[in-house]
Amino acid sequence: MNAILRNTLDLDAWWMPFTANRQFKAAPRMLASASGMFYRTPEGQPVMDGVSGLWCVNAGHGRPEIAEAVGRQLLELDYAPGFQMGHPLGFTLASRLARLAPEGLDRVFFTNSGSESVDTALKIAIAYHRARGEGQRSKFIGREKGYHGVGFGGISVGGLVNNRRLFPLLPSDHLSHTHLPAVNGFSRGQPEHGADLADELERLVALHGAETLAAVIVEPVAGSAGVLPPPVGYLERLRALCTRHGILLIFDEVITGFGRTGAPFAAQRFGVTPDIMTTAKGITNGALPMGAVFVNRALHDAVMKGPPETIEFFHGYTYSGHPVACAAALATLDVYEREGLLTRAAALESYFADALHGLRDAPHVTDIRNLGLMGAIDLRSRAGAVGARAYAAMVEALKQGILIRITGDTIALSPPLIISEAEIDQLLATLRRVLAELD
């Protein structure tokens, strides 16, 4: 980091999220500005954004249309309470999102993040069963390696041990993950083997009793754990089994939503419709915090009961449907629509896959996966030091001018949907040089 910054910035007070704080503060990595595909460091070095910030800046950085809409809205109506009061933009945005959503998911509950969307979805599932007189359906089924944010609900259904082990959890159980490199190694798109893993739901139903299970929640493509596309037929089987046993199916589309897989939502890409869908991130292009939970209309209607003066669902956030976030989201949807970004990943998928799988013979690489504009490269771990090699790759990549995401010894890429073919080449050529540098 630049010496002037180092002397003037006090790094002590910010307890940073999901960061090795002491390691970071000893050798900080800073970003100071961003435009289009590139960040700039405080020293002015350009850094190509290979991960859309954190999987959220789908239309690229510094969009003037979004900035202007936000600026205007701050002066027009900076805040309005969403409890027992409304404002036009919230309704406009919800209707617009409902038109974009998979068939039937046309009721929208606003949150401020993916974690809040997940906790909201789990509560809606319970409220729905309760409203129908099946209040004993209160357990959830998640999946190993799943990431559903960091609320107590989200970590309970999540499948990443470090996020779970310290904390008390909601009653839940888990399907097996679908990472099967021995049979699916170097798959392009959906892997061939593993649909039968969805049948584990039958085993869990036999163990717990269907009448105790509220919902199954999965990411259609697991993101955080290192881009795991669903095996061919897997989501279809899960859908059928949930329907058979009266268990709701929730797709967590916080990463896959808003164009990442080549359709507005992964549910549309795969032709499998959940009962509830959680989103966040790309809804505002990452420019302001916002999330939305999409709910099947019949499910919503089942909860709308009792005398009309009763609050049907005791849940909501101060900032649910925040007017400025709504303005950012509407401007974001305009950009997506005008530039065709919600389907652009489909057009680029095969070019991106070729470039990514071109690293198959690079040093340390043990597996590569891709779908839409998401990709992952597994590296062989150093003996006794899981994660060290990918961490070194991330540091070296930054030096060479690309931002990548790592988890364990997996490198993840999810560039903004505006990326050009030449930029894809640049990203992967740089990554090849980075891998060649590593021991």
Q: Is 268 in the site for ligand PXG (CB under 6 A)?
A: no
* Least separation in angstroms between CB 341 and ligand PLP: 7
Selected binder of ligand PLP within 327, 333, 376, 398 (CB under 6 A):
333
Taking a C-beta distance cutoff of 8 angstroms, is the pair 69, 330 a contact? yes
Stretch that binds ligand PXG, among 40-48, 146-154, 205-213, 233-241 (CB under 6 A): 146-154
**Which DSSP string do the residues of 249-289 spell out, in sequence order?**
EEEE-TTTTTTTTSSSSHHHHHT---SEEEE-GGGGTTSS-
Q: Is 149 in the site for ligand PXG (CB under 6 A)?
A: yes
Q: Is 336 in the site for ligand PLP (CB under 6 A)?
A: yes
Q: How many residues bind ligand PXG (CB under 6 A)?
A: 18
Which residue number, 205 or 283, has a Cβ lying nearer to ligand PXG?
283
Q: Which two tokens stand for residue 400?
A: 């060479």
Q: Is 100 in the site for ligand PLP (CB under 6 A)?
A: yes
DSSP state of 333: H
Provide the residue type at 110 as one letter. F
Residues 6+ apart with CB under 8 A from 425: 355
Binds 140: which of ligand PXG, ligand PLP, none (CB < 5-8 Å by kind): none
Q: Is 147 in the site for ligand PXG (CB under 6 A)?
A: yes
Distances (CA, A) of 339 to 58, 334, 343, 345: 12, 8, 9, 12
Which residue number, 281 or 300, has a Cβ lying nearer to ligand PXG?
281
Cα separation, 48 vs 26, in Å, equals 24
Stretch that binds ligand PXG, among 107-115, 191-199, 232-240, 431-439 (CB under 6 A): 107-115
Q: Is 224 in the site for ligand PXG (CB under 6 A)?
A: yes
Q: Is 13 helix (H, G, I), strand (E, B) or coil?
A: coil
**Per-residue x/- marks for ligand PLP, 53-92, CB under 6 A?**
----------------------------------------
Cα separation, 18 vs 160, in Å, equals 13
Taking a C-beta distance cutoff of 8 angstroms, is the pair 122, 130 a contact? no
Judging by DSSP bridges, how do beta strands 402-403 and 213-218 pair with one another? unpaired
How many other C-beta atoms lie within 10 A of the C-beta of residue 362?
18
* Least separation in angstroms between CB 284 and ligand PLP: 13
Q: Is 287 in the site for ligand PLP (CB under 6 A)?
A: no
Helices (H) and strands (E) in the chain, counts: 17, 15
Q: Which two tokens stand for residue 140?
A: 């959830």
Q: Which two tokens stand for residue 43?
A: 């020293």
Q: Is 153 in the site for ligand PXG (CB under 6 A)?
A: no
DSSP state of 222: B
* Least separation in angstroms between CB 405 and ligand PXG: 5
Q: How many residues bind ligand PLP (CB under 6 A)?
A: 6
Cα separation, 330 vs 65, in Å, equals 10
Q: Is 280 in the site for ligand PLP (CB under 6 A)?
A: no
Stretch that binds ligand PXG, among 5-13, 111-119, 259-267, 376-384 (CB under 6 A): 111-119
Taking a C-beta distance cutoff of 8 angstroms, is the pair 336, 342 a contact? yes
Selected binder of ligand PXG within 255, 335, 417, 418 (CB under 6 A):
255
Selected binder of ligand PXG within 159, 194, 223, 262 (CB under 6 A):
223
Which residue number, 249 or 333, has a Cβ lying nearer to ligand PLP?
333
Q: Which two tokens stand for residue 259?
A: 């164009």
Nearest to 145 by CA among 66, 204, 228: 228
Q: Is 267 in the site for ligand PXG (CB under 6 A)?
A: no
Taking a C-beta distance cutoff of 8 angstroms, is the pair 112, 317 a contact? yes
Which residue number, 34 or 210, has a Cβ lying nearer to ligand PXG?
34
Binds 118: which of ligand PLP, ligand PXG, none (CB < 5-8 Å by kind): ligand PXG
* Least separation in angstroms between CB 7 and ligand PXG: 31
Q: Give the footprint of ligand PXG on this chain (CB under 6 A).
A: 54-55, 113-115, 118, 147-149, 219, 223-224, 252, 254-255, 280, 405, 407
| Residues binding ligand PLP (CB under 6 A) | 100, 333, 336-337, 342-343
